């Protein structure tokens, strides 16, 4: 296999004690992880109905087809809009809640705060089906006054994603330490001013990273959205991909998934640029990969 | 030491949110599981007061788990998750090891590519496999071309291997990242010391790197396995809902949405949580320990 040869030759010479078998395996894995998705993207441009073999390129499933293209099929763009609205509301609410909670938990020392910290971590390890069922039952049995559909989905997504924000921000808070805020306080800033003028700017890269994680998690979520969905008008893209595969699927599903993919990657790229700009200004080295690793480790 | 009480106000909204929407929700599962069902409408009548809890639904589910149909589903869930975890470790550990031991400068691009699946919708990745695994899809064509298959194989009608492959494909990224960060934390000087003292490369790996990576391996496995136990969409999607590949999650969904048996669905969720409790606690304890270490 030639996958290993894609490593730049100079880097190859420089590395000591390299094990080529591992490099081959790693590049094969990367190929395996991404190639199917590229094939799916290609099929979205198929002119025929087949979802397995490519005939000739066209935009039929994007806008040309009068009924089944994502432009003309209402259920498709409703799903797209629902997904984006859901993610936007979730980012707007979960991020500030999570950032404040991270700052609070990091500084507040008592038995109650340890308990709160433990509580914050539990949603991360709770399988989504438990989450989905629990939210489904609490809304249908107890919080019956909450409007069904989108409102419940937003509340569910916030509950599910907030802890990710807290973990990412806490990781960064621990590495920043308290000395900068103390200096600000010595120079006469109030506690809130010290946070607003010193701490928040330093946290900016981590906040960007957590907004991206919230976005990706919300956009990707199938289980919670599905349990809180009340029908076609509250379907999201993952739900549409899931339910669409059964009933006479066309490459329009691939087109829908491709649009979502492009939007997500564009958002991530934008955030990466913003992150780089922000971290240059504050000299806090920001690495989304590092933040993600902190989240999952 | 000054009082840190002031900071509790920052945590308060988040804590209140989690209590209101997470703790109460999980309690609602218990209230429904131990409650009753309206004989006519078949809707749940939750018992919020633990003194009024009735255990008939729970004992029914437990009985079916012990010997009946649910027991078979539970065993199958364990087998699928176990096989998928083995696949994740077999692929993920070497990949994570390679990246962690690569020179820092050339690591960026590889890491970026490894993180990429995080930004691709899980169901899109599964959709991709349903395209590839069609009877006239690329997988059959390639296997036929190499000569592995004489005639096209049907992958999508309930084969266990398709589900396991799908699970591995879906969850490997979630394994690799924490595994990478654990391997990366291992002090390279320890491995060099072993080599200087005469250990072969394999011996240095087996006696230094491997033992030091065990906690990271466990943590990565736990964080991969927990969502897998609740997965019901990967298998349903890749086998068009075939009952031959049903997992516990499918039963939960069936009880709650496919038929009106909310008590049984809720009971099964409680049992799933109880079964996973050890793993969840393990994760919590290691994470809190890490937080403490970082603060010191």
Q: Over chain B, what HEC string results?
A: CCCCHHHHHHHHHHHHHHHHHHHHHHHHHHHHHCCEECCCCCCEECCCCHHHCCCHHHHHHHHHHHCCHHHHHHHHHHHHHHHHHHHHHHHHHHHHHHHHHCCHHHHHHHHHHHHHHHHCCHHHHHHHHHHHCCCCCHHHHHHHHHCCCCCCCCCCCCCHHHHHHHHHHHHHHHHHHHHHHHHHHCCHHHHHHHHHCCCCHHHHHHHHHHHHHHHHHHHHHHHHHHHHHCCCHHHHHHCCCCHHHCCHHHHHHHHHHHCCCHHHHHHHHHHHHHHHHHHHHHHHHHHHHHHHHHHC
* CA atoms of B173 and B257, how far apart (whole Å): 31
Which of B18, B95, B181 lies nearest to residue A297, judging by beta carbons? B181
Coil, strand or helix: which one is A57? strand
Residue with the bigger pLDDT between A190 and A1: it is A190
Q: Does the beta-carbon distance from B11 to A156 stay under 8 Å? A: no
Question: A194 CA to chain B: closest CA distance, Å?
Answer: 13
With contact defined as beta carbons under 8 Å apart, do B248 and A85 qualify? no
CA distance A188 to chain B (A): 18
Give CA–CA dist A155/B283, Å, rounded: 26
pLDDT number for residue A17: 54
Q: How far apart are the CA of A66 and the nearest CA of chain B, in angstroms?
A: 24
State how far the Cα of B89 lies from the Cα of B176, in Å rounded to an integer.
8
- For residue A12, is pLDDT > 50? no
Q: How far is A146 from chain B (nearest CA, A)?
A: 12
Burial of A205 (0-12, 13-18, 19+ CB in 10 A): buried
pLDDT given at position A132: 95
Cα distance between residue A258 and residue A166, in whole Å: 31
Q: CB-CB: which of B103, B124, B222 is closest to A260?
A: B124
Nearest by CB: A220 against B121, B220, B226: B121
Q: The dihedral of CA B190, B195, B196, B199: what is its sign?
A: positive
Measured CA angle at B124 (ends B122, B130), to 5 deg: 110
Task: Give contacts of A127 with chain B, Cβ < 8 Å.
Answer: 226-227, 229-230, 272, 276
Does position A133 have pLDDT exceeding 90, yes or no? yes
Please give the Cα distance from A185 to B171 (Å, whole number).
Answer: 46
Q: pLDDT at position A248, please?
A: 66
Question: Per the CB < 8 Å rule, is A40 touching B230?
Answer: no
Report how far apart, in Å, the C-alpha atoms of B117 and of each of A87, A265, B124 are. 18, 11, 10
Mutate to test the interface with B, among A32, A45, A46, A52 (most CBs of B within 10 A): A52
The interface predicted TM-score of the complex, written ipTM, equals: 0.90
CA distances from B82 to B158, B226, B238, B283 (A): 18, 11, 18, 18
**C-alpha closest to that of A94 among A16, A167, A172, A160:** A160
User: What pLDDT, on the 0 to 100 scale, is given for residue B200?
Assistant: 87
Residue A4 has pLDDT above 50, yes or no: no
Predicted TM-score of the model (pTM)? 0.88
Query: What span, in angstroms and rounded, lies between the C-alpha atoms of A167 and A185?
Result: 26
With bands split at pLDDT 50, 70 and 90, how would you rate the model's confidence at B141?
Answer: confident
Instruction: Write down the pLDDT at residue A179.
Output: 86
Nearest residue of A to residue B101, measured between CA atoms: A18
Using the Cβ of A54 and the Cβ atoms of chain B, whether some distance falls under 8 Å is answered with no
Name every residue whose Cβ is closer than 8 Å to that of residue A65 and which is 6 or more positions away in sequence.
A72, A252
Structure tokens at A166: 């807290």
CA atoms within 13 A on the CB side of B189: 0
**DSSP state, A16?**
S
Which residues face A57 on adjacent strands?
Answer: A46
Grade residue B296 by pLDDT with cuts at 50, 70 and 90: low
Shortest CB distance from B124 goes to which of A32, A117, A261?
Answer: A261
- The reply to whether A66 touches chain B by the CB within 8 Å rule is no
Alpha-carbon distance B56 to nearest alpha carbon in chain A (angstroms): 19
B-facing residues of A in 84-113 (CB < 8 A) are: 97-98, 100-101, 103-110, 112-113
Query: Cα–Cα distances in Å, from B44 out to A133, A184, A229, B253?
Result: 13, 56, 19, 15
Q: With bands split at pLDDT 50, 70 and 90, how would you rate the model's confidence at B20?
A: very high
**Cα B77-B81-B82 angle, rounded to 5 deg:** 115
Q: Inform me whether the C-beta atom of residue A148 falls under 8 Å from chain B C-beta atoms.
A: no
User: Quick check: A90 pLDDT over 50?
Assistant: yes
Q: Which of A56-60, A190-194, B61-65 shows the lowest mean pLDDT across its residues?
A: A56-60
Q: Is A224 an 8 Å CB contact of chain B?
A: no
Give dist(CA B2, CA A288) in Å, integer: 35
User: What CA–CA distance (Å, rounded) separates B252 from A151?
Assistant: 24
DSSP H stretches of helix in A71-127 = 74-107, 111-125
Residue A3: pLDDT over 80: no
CB under 8 Å to B170, separation ≥6 — which residues? B122, B125, B126, B234
Mutate to test the interface with A, among B16, B19, B21, B115 (most CBs of A within 10 A): B21
CA distances from A134 to A140, A147, A219, B37 (A): 10, 17, 20, 17
Q: A297: closest CA among A103, A125, A120? A: A125
Whole-angstrom distance, CA of residue B249 vs CA of residue B81: 12
Beta bridge partners of B37: B44
**What does the DSSP 8-state code read for residue A46?**
B
Q: Write down the mean pLDDT value for chain A.
A: 84
- Total Cβ atoms within 10 A of residue B111: 20
Tell me A222's DSSP state: -
Sort strands B44-45 and B36-37 into parallel, antiparallel or unpaired. antiparallel
Helix (H, G, I), strand (E, B) or coil at A52: coil
Contact B8 A254 (CB under 8 A): no
What SS3 class is residue A221? coil
Percentage, residues of chain B above pLDDT 90: 46
CB B177 within 8 A of CB A296: yes
With a cut of 90, say whether residue B27 has pLDDT above it. Answer: yes
The whole-angstrom distance between B68's CA and the closest CA on chain A is 23
* Residue A97 with chain B: CB contacts under 8 Å: 13-14, 17
Angstrom distance (rounded) from CA B275 to CA B273: 5
Q: What pLDDT is stored for residue B134 in this prediction? A: 84
């Amino acid at each position: 296999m030639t996958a290993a040869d894609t490593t730049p030759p100079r880097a190859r010479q420089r590395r000591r004690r390299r094990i080529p078998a591992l490099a081959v395996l790693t590049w094969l894995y990367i190929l395996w992880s991404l190639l199917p998705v590229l094939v799916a993207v290609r099929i979205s441009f198929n002119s025929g109905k087949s979802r397995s073999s490519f005939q000739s390129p066209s935009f039929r499933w994007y806008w040309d087809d009068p009924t089944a293209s994502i432009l003309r099929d209402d259920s498709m763009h409703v799903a797209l809009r629902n997904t984006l609205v859901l993610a936007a509301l979730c980012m707007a609410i979960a991020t500030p809640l999570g950032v404040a909670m991270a700052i609070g938990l990091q500084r507040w020392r008592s038995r109650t705060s340890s308990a709160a910290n433990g509580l914050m971590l539990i949603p991360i390890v709770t399988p989504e089906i438990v989450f989905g069922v629990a939210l489904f039952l609490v809304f249908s049995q107890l919080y019956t006054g909450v409007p069904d559909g989108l409102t419940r989905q937003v509340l569910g997504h916030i509950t599910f994603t907030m802890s990710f924000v807290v973990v990412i921000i806490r990781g960064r808070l621990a590495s920043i330490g308290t000395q900068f805020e103390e200096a600000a306080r010595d120079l006469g800033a109030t506690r809130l001013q010290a946070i607003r003028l010193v701490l928040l700017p330093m946290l900016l890269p981590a906040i960007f990273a957590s907004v991206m994680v919230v976005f990706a998690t919300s956009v990707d979520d199938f289980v919670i959205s599905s349990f809180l969905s009340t029908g076609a008008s509250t379907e999201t893209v993952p739900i549409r991909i899931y339910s669409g595969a059964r009933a006479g699927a066309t490459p329009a599903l691939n087109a829908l998934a491709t649009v979502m993919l492009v939007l997500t990657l564009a958002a991530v790229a934008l955030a990466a640029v913003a992150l780089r700009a922000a971290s240059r200004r504050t000299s806090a080295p920001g690495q989304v990969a590092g933040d993600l690793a902190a989240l999952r480790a | 030491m000054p009082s840190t009480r002031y900071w509790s106000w920052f945590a308060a909204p988040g804590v209140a949110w989690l209590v209101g929407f997470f703790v109460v929700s999980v309690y609602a599962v218990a209230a429904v599981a131990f409650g009753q069902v309206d004989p006519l409408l078949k809707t749940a009548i939750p018992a919020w007061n633990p003194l009024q809890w009735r255990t008939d639904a729970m004992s029914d589910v437990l009985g079916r788990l012990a010997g009946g149909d649910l027991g078979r589903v539970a065993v199958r869930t364990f087998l699928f998750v176990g096989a998928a975890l083995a696949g994740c470790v077999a692929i993920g550990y070497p990949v994570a090891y390679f990246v962690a031991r690569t020179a820092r400068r050339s690591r960026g691009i590889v890491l970026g590519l490894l993180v990429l699946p995080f930004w691709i919708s899980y169901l899109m990745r599964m959709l991709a496999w349903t395209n590839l695994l069609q009877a006239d899809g690329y997988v059959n064509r390639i296997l036929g071309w190499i000569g592995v298959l004489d005639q096209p194989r049907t992958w999508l009608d309930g084969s266990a291997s398709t589900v396991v492959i799908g699970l591995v494909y879906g969850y490997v990224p979630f394994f690799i990242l924490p595994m990478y960060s654990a391997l990366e934390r291992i002090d390279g000087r320890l491995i060099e010391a072993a080599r200087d003292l005469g250990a072969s490369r394999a011996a240095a790996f087996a006696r230094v790197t491997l033992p030091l990576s065990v906690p990271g391996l466990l943590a990565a496995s736990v964080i991969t396995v927990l969502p897998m136990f609740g997965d019901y969409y990967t298998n349903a999607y890749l086998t068009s809902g075939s009952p031959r590949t049903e997992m516990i999650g499918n039963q939960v969904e069936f009880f709650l949405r496919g038929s009106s048996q909310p008590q049984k669905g809720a009971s099964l969720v409680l049992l799933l949580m109880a079964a996973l409790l050890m793993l969840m606690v393990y994760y919590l304890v290691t994470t809190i320990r890490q937080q403490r270490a970082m603060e010191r």
